[in-house]
Amino acid sequence: MFAQSNSAPDAALTDDARVVPPPGAAPLSQWQLIWGDEFDGTALDTTRWRIEDLHLIKNAELQYYAPDEVYIENGCLVLRSRQRSYSGYDNAGDWRHFDYTSGLVETRDRFATAYGRIEVRARLPATRGLWPAHWLLPDSRRWPPEIDIMELLGHEPTRVYMTHHWGQWPDVQRAGNSYSGPDFSQGFHTFAIEWSPARIDWYIDGMLRFSSVQDIPREPFYIILNTAVGGDWPGNPDASSVFPQYHRIDYVRAYMPGDPGAALLDVEDATPQTATVDGVIGRDEYVLVTTGINAGLLDQIGRNSEMHVDSSADGRLSIGFASVTAWPGEPYGVVIYVDSVDGGFASTYELTDAAARSRRLASGKGESGQRADLYFAPGFRADYAVVLEVDFVTIYRLDRSSHVLIHGAALDAPTDMLGGDDVRYRADGDGGRRVRECELRLSHVSVAPGQTFRCVVTLLNGDTAFRANEFVGAAPGNPFDAAGLAATAAVLKPGDFIRFRAASPADGCGPGCSAAGGNADLDGDCDVDSDDLARLLAGYGTQAGATHAQGDVDLDRDVELDDLASLLRVYGAACP
């Protein structure tokens, strides 16, 4: 094992090191897949991977990374390495001749993650002078840090290396381990890390082989798969080297914990009525009152401002804000991310919808390509965004390319955007300067009375993607505490969210209650009638993300024949 102090310039090898399993390590069954590629198509998916076409000047390596050395074959990504004459540019802009070509793919600008489990199943190449690797670099493009999931030297096919680099160049520190096992070129093996704010654990074929607890990075990383030829560490090919060589990758998978664990705040609404949304926040009107953290933009949702949350037994959700300073005007908006159903997004990184300001606010993007990606607490998967602008509230179901508009309302308008009163948005009488209250249906975010959801709140500029360091639902101790984030990534730590259990149906009424027709009561008025049937028929055929209010009776995120049959079975049911 490589063991090293922060001041040591190099690592020292210690034999016969014993690795103790990490405390509270989660079984693989408790992880949820958030991203992956099984390489089952006929060509590499370039929306997920970037293929290198360049010689990278580093480590005295000899290869040119040529796109024709990257291909899909028999359900595997293949990175081929060949000895051949090839000409191309290096990253200094010089046109050069090369004697070797190889392959490199990466998720840069496609996918990045902070924390979780990253797993690669691969069969590695092996001949003198080769250097296959699976590794991670920061999305910020700075170095160090670096996390090497697996590295192998081609003349040692039974030994793989696992390393963590940190520090400031040129004082780079490292800790790592080498594991000797089977010949990794003779079959497929899994190589994985499990990364949390406190530690990184390395697994080979499901067995823990190394752990590091020193200077664990707290920023997003992207994935790199490559095979280098030659270089300072493996040495150059010689007369014994055999080409071509093949680095075969069966899959790459990224996971997050299925359960985000304990919340910063855990609140249960035990009262059947909700707050009155009228622009005035009364004392004890809301069941949840909490302050935010930091004051990056004069404390608009920060440590001296308040967020209020309440719900009702008939399925309404009320949210209020009382800011110390004036409520943010254009182009700023407050975004409430809601985690209420399985699936969802572990970050805003992949969200690209920038068609309008409210959509950019939900995506964490600016109007000219700027981005302020938010990485939620591990295990928190955002499904919905409630966007509060100065004069409009909008509810979206999040989607990678085009968020689904659920509902909305203009400030102080007599009706919502559909002409009803399901959504209301009110300001205080002082010119709407400090208070905002909104009311929506729990079903708009796929929650029924008595059910639980999670949320976290942030403040963003919808034109420039400038994110304030003000959050509600997060505790101090994040990297952004000291200064404004601007258009940079924000990574929340475990527990940075609020868990809220909505008020239960009163006297056996409302969605979720069998006496009132259960989830077939789509409008939450304690009966199943023609209004509920009309809602379901209007939403019939909605797939992959339908809400309860759209007709999703069985809560499987689509509206189909099963939902219609369930509603018809209890049609006419009402409160006793």
Q: Please list the active-site residues.
A: 146, 151
Mode of pairing for the β-strands spanning 435-441 and 490-491: unpaired
Cα 421–Cα 424–Cα 430 angle in degrees, nearest 5: 140
> Which residues in 183-269 belong to E strands, given as ranges?
189-195, 200-204, 207-212, 221-229, 245-257, 265-268
Provide the residue type at 457 as one letter.
Answer: V
CB neighbour class for 243 (10 Å; exposed up to 12, middle 13-18, buried from 19): middle
CB 537 within 8 A of CB 303: no
In angstroms, rounded to a whole number, what is the distance separating the alpha carbons of residues 164 and 136? 10
**By three-state DSSP, how is residue 522 classified?**
coil
Q: Which residues contact 417 (CB under 8 A, 6 or more apart)?
A: 407, 408, 409, 410, 423
- Kind and range of the H or E element at 537? helix 530-539
Provide the residue type at 500 as one letter.
Answer: F
For residue 123, which of 160, 88, 174 has the smallest C-alpha distance?
Answer: 160
Provide the residue type at 275 as one letter.
Answer: A
- For every residue of 108-137, DSSP letters joined together read TTT--BSSEEEEEEEE---STTEEEEEEEE
In angstroms, rounded to a whole number, what is the distance separating the alpha carbons of residues 182 and 189? 10
Q: What six digits make up the tokens of 47?
A: 């929306």
Q: What six digits make up the tokens of 547?
A: 């809400």
CB neighbour class for 343 (10 Å; exposed up to 12, middle 13-18, buried from 19): middle
Question: How is residue 475 annotated by DSSP?
Answer: -
Q: How many CB atoms lie within 10 A of CB 575?
A: 17
Provide the residue type at 447 as one letter.
Answer: V
